[in-house]
Structure 1
Amino acid sequence: MPKIDCNGISLYYEVYGTGIPILVIWGIGGEILPFIESLKQKAHGLYQIINFDTRGSGRSDKPDREYSIEMMADDTASLMDSLNIRSAHILGISTGSRIALSLASRYPNKVKSLILHVAAARSPGSDEPEAQEVYDRLYNTMIMPGFMEKALLYPPTIPSFKRLFKALVTFNGVQLLSSIHVPTRIINTTSDRSTPVSMAQELHEKIWRSQLILLDGDHMIARTDPEQITDHVMVFLKSLETSK
């Protein structure tokens, strides 16, 4: 089981193939196997895929201290250094999109491009009551004893989930967006009740020359239709290579 010491903790990671690195940052639910399998197949021979479990999740350490999105961005940068990856395309999914935004702001030289899926720079506010209700329902469901063990392959513990969720809801990266100047593609959906279209539009409007794609689907599309997402990922990356 590959683990590596990064930023004072041990992170579980996996590396597939060779080529230009694509670093995948998962959401709180952790690894999405159909998505990573699809990405591996399409990237074969062109890109190296690296994915890892963030602190507090999966097979990585779950230290008993407060977490933050910025801290997890520092973890990611440390992982890249430990694996001798100078820079990579960064693919952030859900909570991973916020870690990706923080990484791009804090370590711009490490980020070749950003691909942000079911992404937002912040959690819902008082003017988005439906999305806030979804957040509350998710939290209450996930902390039910035994639920995560049934729903997720490598679940966080209830205490580490609470720390991850707090990091998620207290992060506001809107002020970071204007500082991001790498090619960025936002791939969100039209029926994501936790991440309204307005949040994708906010990213698009504030990130320099970003691209916005809205697909039919909800927050789980990377699980239910991974091919559609990985197709958009590969088209974007190939467009960057041909534009050089």
Structure 2
Amino acid sequence: MPHAKSADGTRIAYWSQGDGTPVVLLAGQANSHHWWDGVRADFHAAHRTITFDYRGTGESDKPDEPYSTEGFARDVIAVLDDLGVDRAHVYGTSMGGRVAQWIAARHPQRIRALILGCTSPGGPHGVERGNDVRRSLARPGPAGRQALLELMYTPTWLATHPGPHNTLGDPSMPLHARRRHLAASNQHNTWDVLPDICAPTLVVHGSDDLLNPAANAARLAGRIPGARLELTPGARHAYFEEFRATAGPLVLDFLEEHDHGSA
């Protein structure tokens, strides 16, 4: 696979598939491009998809140094530069949504339309998950993994989809990279720059998301000028996969609206 070189020399692996208006798909914390495997093909009727492995994951370099969501955004720009893509839609979910906020605020000329899924502004204005959720995720071994699964998907879906589940983290990540990703996500705070976002923006969230509480969606939509808010009823964190039959067309219709407009 090709690699782009970020400003600090880190090599970032990326994948470009399909034809049409490009859309960058950004995965969650400590995940590689495989996060999108279950739904990526849904975009290819009208769009070229661009995914990449965050530094610390997959086939990208894994330096043991501080990471940040703003730094991940610069890595995305390096990928677009390497591909010769001037402007693209950007669809970020979970930590990828945090990265997408920085792209839209710092590099507005590179974005056609912005979609922020199951994400948060972070900082003091972000709504944190409950202590009970934190405790469940901190349990060692299979118990913690099961807790994460149940935060991602409903029991009904899990009963008929035994896995493997690509949203549970990149198993190849070294421990130092996992810690760096967690710190980057925890230190995220875009509240002051959200009003600078000028791209057409859709905020999407599962109504039953406890991993990243759904109240964050309203905070983002209220802070970004002209943003549209859509909650997916009954969905948990991985709404885009379990509820693809409703969330997918919602996203694709929004992208189609802005395929030829200016950002």
TM-score between both structures, scaled by the size of structure 2: 0.80
Q: Is the 8 A contact 1:25 1:100 kept in 2?
A: yes
Structure-2 separation of matches of 1:126 and 1:48: 32
Q: Are 2:196 and 1:179 aligned?
A: yes
After TM superposition, the structure 1 = structure 2 runs for residues 16-95 of structure 1, keeping only pairs within 5 Å, are 16-31=17-32, 35-44=36-45, 46-95=46-95
The residue that corresponds to 1:10 in the other structure is: 11
SS in 1 for 2:258: helix
Structure 1 ranges of 4+ moved more than 6 A: 124-127, 146-150
Equivalent pair of 1:30/1:155 in contact (CA under 8 Å): no
2:235 equivalent among 208, 217, 232? 217
Conservation of the 8 A alpha-carbon contact between 1:120 and 1:203: yes
Per-residue deviation, 1:18: 1.5
Q: CA RMSD in A?
A: 3.2
**1: CA distance between counterparts of 2:58 and 2:124?**
26
1:127–1:76 distance in 2 versus 1, CA, 3 Å: closer
AA at the equivalent of 1:4: A
Q: CA deviation at 1:174?
A: 1.1
Which ranges in structure 2 are unaligned for 5 or more consecutive residues?
A: 149-163
Instruction: Give the C-alpha shift of residue 62 in structure 1.
Output: 1.0
Instruction: Check the 8 A contact 2:95/2:185 in 1, yes or no.
Output: yes
Aligned to 2:160: none
**Structure 2: distance between partners of 1:74 and 1:172:** 16
**Structure 1 gap segments, 5+ residues each:** none
Could you say if the C-alpha distance between residues 31 and 164 of structure 1 is closer, same or farther in structure 2, counting changes exceeding 3 Å? Answer: closer
CA distance in 2, matches of 1:168, 1:41: 28
Counterparts in 2 of 1:97-116, with a 5 A limit?
97-116=97-116
Aligned residue identity for 1:27? G
Residue matched to 1:169: 186
SS in 1 for 2:230: strand
User: Where do residues 181-220 of structure 1 align in structure 2 (5 Å cutoff)?
Assistant: 181-215=198-232, 216-220=234-238
Q: CA separation of 1:172/1:15 partners in 2, compared to 1, >3 Å: closer, same or farther?
A: same
Equivalent residue letter for 2:236: D
Which SS does the other structure have where 1:175 is aligned?
A: coil
Q: Structure 1-normalised TM-score? A: 0.86
Distance 1:158 1:227, change over 3 A: farther
Change in CA separation of 1:42 and 1:96 when aligned onto 2, cut-off 3 Å:
closer
